[in-house]
A and B are shown apart, each in its own frame.
Chain A
């Protein structure tokens, strides 16, 4: 919110407070000053001068030599100007030697066609202002100042540039502070200064009975609108002269980024800024049947708003109608049909409390917002509505915009709806406030702070009864009071304690959480980098991965309001995110690495989603580049399983279950205890092509919880024998297409004492016949506890192995 300091000064005398003090105090009580704007920061050394004499320049047709009286800055300053609108006696802005102007222009003494020119006469543009900001600033030529202007004054004080603006951030609970008055109240409380309430007594100003108008307008609020319109006030101004607003008012609007329009519209905007109450002005002559009605819109009812757009309404929108048709979209924008025009003679002011929810809904639906709707969305209170309607009349009278009439419709009076104007009371023992804060704030300080904040305080023994100001809808429980007290008393008074009065709790990570850290660390030890990718992607990623339209990975949760077409579905497969990251790394020249991600997939029970879906953590591992191969990644998978004391089996996919994004001959299902827990494989080349990847990529996904469930950390040690192990090597020549897993399985099934089988050599070549390969296994036999294992026993076991291999696979030992 923009806060011109000069305007703030209307309500609280801050002349003795520096900008920095003000900023710090506002910050301490909850209002962050995001920026301080020095309005005239670009302008320096420009003063008011009067032209004493004008001579023609000898060497130029258009240049004139002016002699200026700038008071104590010099009474005979010679300046050459090209402007034609200067005249003897004119008061003008004079940029002296060393002056700076708008856009960083610097002025130095010099010569113009041989004649000394000790400065420059300035136009409005050169001072960074326009006709809206100051009369005469828009003319083509020098800014001619009013004759009453004092010679030698700093131009900034003359044209309204000697001001500061605070850009404040206001938290959502303080709509009452979205105005100059609101901040003034806070400043007054914080510095313990007196607040000058805005003047509203227009009757006093008027000093006579207002003009009669009463029977010329009827206002009513339809029952169906009462929920969205809490208060509605109409007033009427007649014999209005539509013209420009005075400079000071225009300047205040401009400092707050509102462009002046005419005195009536400017007045409503002025009230909006000053009190935080949006207002609207109708041209009475356009109101048919002399009736104003507030009601919900009919389905598909049409209105052309002030921006000349046709809006089609629904019955949750609120409209202001005359006897026939809608004339405004309540709280958002007036209708073009009742706009204030230069010809307007009678104005009907609307000051109303519309609920923020109602305004937001309509504003969002239509994509239509205004200063008014933005303000309503923050929240307007019924008290301010009453205050603002009177303040508007006061200013209208003061500015002589028109003639105040006796017409004053207030829905509160008609509806006797005044419980909204009844002040809330909060009862609280002082001890409760201090218990919540943890420090002892003396009672008198508490009462003093609340009084300064406009709470009325009654003491009852140790209890306080606080009556809440009407504009503070955010206060309803004692905790709210505690916050008011501590922010004024100072958060720096809060000490640090460590839950001294709390019970001891055990805390700590669960076994599941500890194990997860351990698993991640195992992967890091395998040279893997952990990545984090978004939980959502698009169907296109699934297309790239050739996921079948009927596959489960397509049964995904859709985001109803995605930000863009790339983030539309909650993923059920991590691989596309992984491959995307690999592609980006390769493009940046990282051509070998290992990555992993442990993240959830989201499995809907129904589509469209009705119930909470299942969120399952999946471990996705990958390796890419020429230094990697299927087995290096398999090693990473095994490292995790080893950590969990699990053994996996790898089974090729059946023809119809092979995921199409995998290499058909370098891919497998991973099984643990005969349950499928994931897959591993080389990414298919046509998939890689979609990601512009030319290096091989290996990937595995494991259902993390499935393997964790199988981990048993509640084990008892198996005693070991003091006798030594016996090791044997066995070589076989087998058909090339026979997979090692088959042989290993039979070896393991056949022998006792066998603790380890490791394939350590695979040979294809001259030494074995074509179509065959040689496999060599290293077998370790381990004796049982307190037993010795003999070579004879091991020989017996080897014989069993060889027998079974011959019977089941028709393979024999290599001689």
Chain B
């Protein structure tokens, strides 16, 4: 009997060696451990053996069965692993081939700049008002303290659509509307398209974008204007940016200032971008003229405020190193696709 078992073991070992797929392994396993398998048959023949020998022999056959089971289990583990490895191998791909995902587009640089500015100002408690692009003389000029004979009202600068209606030349036109709609305390920014009679060239465009800012409250000072614009400069051009105010003139502010920021090209040392001055003019601002406050139905003895107007093309040009304003309106995909920010 022992010899028979040893032979069987040897045969099984031999046969297992030749197996390398789960299917043959399974049929081999059946031929030993299946209902009619050799080991099962041996178990069945146990009945024919003498009673005294039966327990001992039974134990031996059981041991053989357990031995076989573990043999097959181990073999199956190895084969499964091999099969998995070869399946992986067969599925080898070239990972450097191009991806198939949907390519990402991008927002227009003017939108990016607008969003960034809105982020800054909404964080400071400003809301966003978008007034009409087609304005009348009152909102665009008269209410903003531009006297009838002011040069800016000339046909030279403004696109007229009727005697009274025109394409707004500045987002400042939104000032009065915002003040009419909301009582102070008021903090508002007005982004949008504006229009002036200019041919499209590297620094001008008949349509461009501005953002007006307006604060009206009881105790607003010129220092507040500087503080707010300093935040704008730092967020847009880097923490190390410095801001400088210098006298200027706008009919709707008094005092009026031009706001310069240290040049982002050289950090203030002087370079080509800033024409060696170290400073770049970014926007016009000032304390709201009492006539404007009056025109909005508020009492300038009680309320004061500041306003500023920033050209968004200018910010985009400085921030992204755009050398020609025309690029912003050519909409060349090779240009646009660089703005993945």
Contacts and interface: CB of A to CB of B under 8 A. Distances in A.
Most buried by A among B104, B186, B193, B222: B222
A116 B239 CA distance: 66
B151 A585 contact: no
A720 interface: no
B125 A507 contact: yes
Given A502-B224, A526-B105, A612-B136, A561 B111 contact: no
Nearest to A534: B207
A588 B333 CA distance: 10
A501 B246 contact: no
Interface in B268-298: 287, 289-290
B249 A585 contact: no
Interface string A598-610: 0010100000111
Given A30-B247, A520-B111, A529 B337 contact: yes
A439 to B, nearest CB: 6
Nearest to A599: B193
A524 B103 CA distance: 9
Nearest to B103: A527
B162 interface: yes
Contacts of A308: none
A504 interface: yes
A171 B228 CA distance: 25
Contacts of A714: none
12 contacts: A174-B249, A438-B224, A483-B247, A483-B256, A496-B227, A499-B224, A501-B217, A532-B111, A532-B329, A557-B161, A590-B334, A609-B162
Interface string B134-154: 101000000000001111001
A559 interface: yes
A532 B108 contact: yes
A527 B102 contact: yes
A715 to B, nearest CB: 25
Contacts of A525: 102, 104-105
Contact of B110 (A486, A487, A532, A613): A532
A477 B290 contact: yes
A584 interface: yes
Nearest to B205: A534
Interface stretch (A460-468, A509-517, A647-655, A805-813): A509-517
Given A529-B106, A534-B329, A535-B193, A171 B134 contact: no
Given A499-B215, A528-B105, A530-B107, A355 B223 contact: no
Interface stretch (A356-364, A418-426, A699-707): A356-364
A645 B328 CA distance: 33
Contacts of A517: 115
A338 B303 CA distance: 57
B217 A502 contact: yes
A494 B245 contact: yes
Contacts of A523: 105
A503 B182 CA distance: 14
B128 A513 contact: yes
B161 to A, nearest CB: 5
A595 B248 CA distance: 41
A507 B155 CA distance: 37
Nearest to B112: A530
B67 interface: no
A526 B254 CA distance: 48
Given A483-B247, A502-B187, A526-B105, 18 more contacts: A28-B246, A360-B151, A436-B287, A479-B290, A482-B254, A482-B287, A498-B228, A501-B221, A502-B215, A507-B122, A510-B127, A524-B104, A532-B111, A535-B133, A563-B206, A588-B332, A609-B165, A615-B133
A613 B162 CA distance: 11
Contacts of A646: none
A563 B197 contact: yes
Nearest to B185: A503
Interface residues of A, number: 89
B331 interface: yes
Given A497-B221, A507-B187, A531 B336 contact: yes
A371 to B, nearest CB: 17
Contact of A530 (B111, B127, B246): B111
Interface string A29-44: 1100000000000000
Interface string A546-562: 00000000000111111
A480 interface: yes
- Residue of A479, A585, A608 most packed against chain B (CB within 10 A): A479
Contacts of B149: 355-357, 360
A495 B225 CA distance: 10
Contacts of A498: 124, 224, 227-228, 231
B218 interface: yes
A559 B104 CA distance: 38
B333 A590 contact: yes
A225 interface: no
A501 B186 contact: no
Interface of B: 102-108, 110-111, 115, 118, 121-128, 132-134, 136, 148-151, 154-155, 159-162, 165, 167, 185-187, 193, 195, 197-199, 206-207, 215, 217-224, 226-228, 230-231, 243-249, 254-257, 287, 289-290, 304, 328-334, 336-337
A173 B251 CA distance: 8
A480 B220 CA distance: 17
B222 A600 contact: no
B161 A560 contact: yes
A570 B322 CA distance: 28
A587 B224 CA distance: 50
Contacts of B124: 498-499, 507
A437 B222 contact: yes
Interface string A479-493: 110110011000110
Interface in A408-465: 435-439
Given A436-B222, A520-B107, A613-B134, A499 B227 contact: yes
Contacts of A584: 330-332
B126 A495 contact: no
Contacts of B107: 520-521, 524, 530
A593 interface: yes
A738 interface: no
Given A497-B227, A557-B134, A615-B134, A529 B289 contact: no
Sorted nearest first, the 10 A-B pairs with minimum C-beta distance are A438-B221, A438-B223, A30-B247, A357-B149, A483-B255, A501-B219, A171-B249, A503-B185, A496-B227, A531-B331
B110 to A, nearest CB: 6
A408 B254 CA distance: 40
B244 A491 contact: yes
A579 to B, nearest CB: 12
Nearest to A496: B227
A495 B226 contact: yes
Contacts of B207: 534-536
Nearest to A523: B105
A510 B220 contact: no
Nearest to A557: B161
A159 to B, nearest CB: 31
A477 B254 contact: yes
A354 to B, nearest CB: 12
Contact of A588 (B125, B199, B223, B334): B334
B255 A482 contact: yes
Interface in A376-403: 377
Contacts of B186: 505
Given A535-B193, A561-B160, A377 B108 contact: no
Contacts of A487: 247, 255
A509 B126 CA distance: 9
A533 to B, nearest CB: 7
A567 interface: yes
A483 B228 CA distance: 20
Contacts of B155: 364, 561
Given A364-B154, A483-B256, A593 B159 contact: no
B331 A532 contact: yes
